[in-house]
Chain A
Amino acid sequence: MTITVRYFAVLRDRRGLAEESISGDFTTARALVDQLIVQHRLDLPSALIRIAQNGQFVADDSPVNDGDVIVLIPPVAGG
């Protein structure tokens, strides 16, 4: 399957890009994030990253589907 992954803030700085299209056999949202952390040495604990899938926050075990847009949300600091 092919999906789009978007990075923000510190993750965008560490990944070196804001968005990419990747292909593979992806299982759950959390497994995907864990894989990206290792693959790209994002150097942030997975537990600190929330995951949005197609515009909604999702749980760790949400299955990833072809065409999904997955957004990695690092620790927020607004206000």
Chain B
Amino acid sequence: MFRLTDVPITQEPMLVEAAGGFVTFEGKVRNHAMGRSVIRLEYEAFPDLAIPEGVALLEEAKAKYGLLSASVIHRTGLLEVGDTAVLIQVAAAHRHEAFAGCEWIIDQLKHRVPIWKKEHFADGDSGWVGADVPSPNEDLYRALVQRQRSTEEVGEVGQTAIREAKVLMVGVGG
């Protein structure tokens, strides 16, 4: 089941007697994005396409991972820090397929389904992710950060300092 809602998400139990592994993912609003402080997120969807695409995605997940059940609820509207934006539940006979299938679903949802996110920052600015503000390339970011973290001269302390630093750029023409 793929459902959109504009009210806070509540989780329904998934009842599948042949399943031993049940995995739930909750995507929540965090208070930072790309180094900036976030106060709320605004989600917008195009239901006519989002729902069929979401349903198709879940059918693919079930076929690919042998899931016995898979469901997504995605919230739209204005969400505060800590609110749940998306709830994914999967059930499989065994845990490996459940974990892998759940991760695949959120990864696919992020680039296939017509749902958009606008970040509202603490400084009053706001921007649509992927247009006004960059989409985080999470894999690349993780790889770069990991390299810096494991460099002795930088380390975890250095990585935190880099993330929290502010940079002033001054252009003087010419």
How far in angstroms is the closest Cβ of chain B from A23? Answer: 23
Q: Report A-chain residues with C-beta under 8 Å of the C-beta of B112.
A: 76
Asked whether, in the complex, the Cβ of B131 is within 8 Å of the Cβ of A79, the reply is: no
Question: Which one of B45, B113, B130 contacts A74 once the chains associate, using CB atoms below 8 Å?
Answer: B130
A26 at interface, CB cutoff 8 A: no
- Give Cα A44 to B132, complex, Å: 10
Q: How many B residues touch the partner, as a band?
A: 20 to 34
Closest to A6 in B: B46
Q: Report A-chain residues with C-beta under 8 Å of the C-beta of B117.
A: 77-78
A1 at interface, CB cutoff 8 A: no
- Give Cα A44 to B130, complex, Å: 10
- Give Cα A57 to B128, complex, Å: 22
Asked whether, in the complex, the Cβ of A78 is within 8 Å of the Cβ of B43, the reply is: yes
Instruction: Decide yes or no: A10 and B128 within 8 Å by CB, A76-B114, A77-B117, A79-B86 being known contacts.
Output: yes
- Give Cα A79 to B45, complex, Å: 11
Residue among B45, B46, B117 with the highest chain A CB neighbour number at 10 A: B46
- Give Cα A13 to B130, complex, Å: 14
Interface-side segment among B59-67, B103-111, B149-157: B103-111
Instruction: Decide yes or no: A77 and B110 within 8 Å by CB, A9-B44, A9-B118, A13-B128 being known contacts.
Output: yes
Closest to A9 in B: B116
Q: Report A-chain residues with C-beta under 8 Å of the C-beta of B46.
A: 8, 52, 71, 73
B48 at interface, CB cutoff 8 A: yes
Closest to B86 in A: A79
Instruction: Decide yes or no: A74 and B27 within 8 Å by CB, A8-B116, A10-B116, A55-B49 being known contacts.
Output: no
- Give Cα A19 to B115, complex, Å: 17
A63 at interface, CB cutoff 8 A: no
Minimum-distance CB pairs A-B, first 7: A75-B130, A78-B115, A9-B116, A77-B129, A10-B131, A10-B128, A77-B117
Can you report 19 residue pairs joining A to B where beta carbons are below 8 Å apart? A10-B128, A10-B131, A44-B131, A52-B48, A57-B49, A71-B46, A73-B114, A74-B116, A75-B129, A75-B135, A76-B114, A76-B115, A77-B110, A77-B130, A78-B43, A78-B50, A78-B109, A78-B110, A79-B110
